[in-house]
Amino acid sequence: MSTAGTALGCWDAGVIGLGYTGLSLVVALAHEGIPVTGFDIDPAIVEELTAGRSHVLDVDDRELADLAPHTFFTTDERALASRNVLFVCVPTPLRNGDEPDLSHVEDAARLLAGVLHPGQVVIIESTTHPGATEEIILPILERSGLVLDRDFLLAHAPERLDPGNPSYRLGDIARVVGGASPASTAAAVAVYRRFVAKVHPVANARTAEMAKLLENSFRFVNIALANEMADLARHLGVDGWEVLEAAATKPFGFLPFTPGPGVGGHCIAVDPYYLTWSARRAGATPALLDLAGRVNRRMPQVVADLVGEALAERATPVEGARILVVGVAYKADVADVRNSPALECIRLLTGAGADVAYADAHVPLIRQPGLSLDAVPLTAKRLAASDCVLVLCDHAAVNYQAVFHHGRLVVDARGALARRGLRGSHVRNL
């Protein structure tokens, strides 16, 4: 009986899905001298990567050029058949707003079932709901006729990256690993110990899936608390940012989360709904997560209302108001607009008749259903000509002094000015 778990020593890898998770993993493996085949269904991605051009913020072209000579990119899944360890790093978005969409993971599992060979280890890094690896992915892989443990091993090791955060290299971030069988756990632990400093094995794959959802639900709920606290501070006549700054001086038992226009991105905005969907299906009631979702998803409307109130105080109707949005990415210093709450804010204000433009050096254009805008330069003239400047993403490179001095009315949904000591009667904070 040959399983990769016993044969693991010198191994090579295949990575399925070359987005920010998969490509970061290819680079981390290659840096350890592990031969890597990067697979993606999108020929354009494979072509760009083969030409040494990265489409991922945290992987620059120089890093691609430095990849070991045994790293190559392909759209041909047959190249995966000879690799010992196969990592699945494909997107797991939502369907209908709050249901897991595992279609990409299922497609990847079907593709692997077509090339699976005895001795291989399959590791799912994509975020899934508790039970998905063992109850959905394993049966698809076993349609190959191969059998778990006898022929192949399967584990879940949720990715843990913070896009745009240079402080943590992939290899420095502890990893949770749980197998569909004990032998799978052991093999996956051996795999990650090759390139990750700390590996934390758990009982099974569903435990690893649940750990990831807790991590991101923790952020989701605390962001909702920050958003609610901002609302309470406004009603109670205190400066919410000053309150937050003060509370953050507590050296223990407190983590500062900041209010904002809502929760964007492809993780925090998504993963908690994998948990609520699973919970309800199991007969549980995720009341706190549901409430946090309602609080966070209301924020674009809260921001749009704040703009309306601020304009009304200056006898300016939203209809026809010239609004300049500063920052549309889902968070600071990234170029990603997936699920960005800024887009919903723009839709709401445009829907109310405002004339909205945006400036964001990271995002040259927006092409979304019902929203097509090109970025404008952030100039003193444009700031002064706007009825309202609306800060929706606090990129570090923005000249907030200019926003403060040239903006006649500034609504700041990120505390970008307050955190820089820029306070004035013409500035309204979330």
**Distance in Å, CB of 254 to ligand SAJ, minimum:** 13
In DSSP terms, 16 is beta-bridged to 39, 88
**Distance in Å, CB of 143 to ligand SAJ, minimum:** 29
d(CA 75, CA 47): 9
Q: Which is nearer to ligand SAJ, 64 or 226 (CB)?
A: 226
- For residue 258, state whether it binds ligand SAJ (rule: CB under 6 A): yes
Backbone angles phi and psi of 117, in degrees to 5: -130, 155
- For residue 81, state whether it binds ligand SAJ (rule: CB under 6 A): no
- For residue 257, state whether it binds ligand SAJ (rule: CB under 6 A): yes
Q: Which is nearer to ligand SAJ, 387 or 412 (CB)?
A: 412
d(CA 137, CA 110): 9
Q: Which is nearer to ligand SAJ, 213 or 321 (CB)?
A: 213
d(CA 206, CA 192): 18
Q: Please, which of residues 123-182 interact with ligand SAJ by CB under 6 A? A: 159-163
Look up residue 267 and give its two tokens: 């993780």
**Distance in Å, CB of 147 to ligand SAJ, minimum:** 32
- For residue 226, state whether it binds ligand SAJ (rule: CB under 6 A): yes
- For residue 216, state whether it binds ligand SAJ (rule: CB under 6 A): yes
- For residue 428, state whether it binds ligand SAJ (rule: CB under 6 A): no
**Distance in Å, CB of 116 to ligand SAJ, minimum:** 27
> Among candidates 105, 205, 113, 99, which has minimal Cα distance to 158?
205
Region binding ligand SAJ by CB under 6 A among candidate stretches 137-145, 253-261, 307-315, 346-354? 253-261
**Distance in Å, CB of 56 to ligand SAJ, minimum:** 13
Q: Please, which of residues 280-309 interact with ligand SAJ by CB under 6 A? A: none
How many positions of this chain bind ligand SAJ (CB under 6 A)?
A: 19
Q: Please, which of residues 321-340 interact with ligand SAJ by CB under 6 A? A: 330-331
Candidates 267, 345, 388, 393; catalytic one: 267
Q: Which is nearer to ligand SAJ, 187 or 303 (CB)?
A: 303
- For residue 273, state whether it binds ligand SAJ (rule: CB under 6 A): no
Length of the chain: 430
> Among candidates 107, 113, 123, which has minimal Cα distance to 146?
113
Q: What's the half-sphere exposure (Cβ side, CA atoms, 13 Å) at 110?
A: 6
- For residue 230, state whether it binds ligand SAJ (rule: CB under 6 A): no
Task: Please confirm, yes or no, whether 267 is among the known catalytic residues.
Answer: yes
Binding residues for ligand SAJ (CB under 6 A): 159-163, 216, 219, 223, 226, 257-258, 260, 263-265, 267-268, 330-331
* Catalytic residue ranges: 267
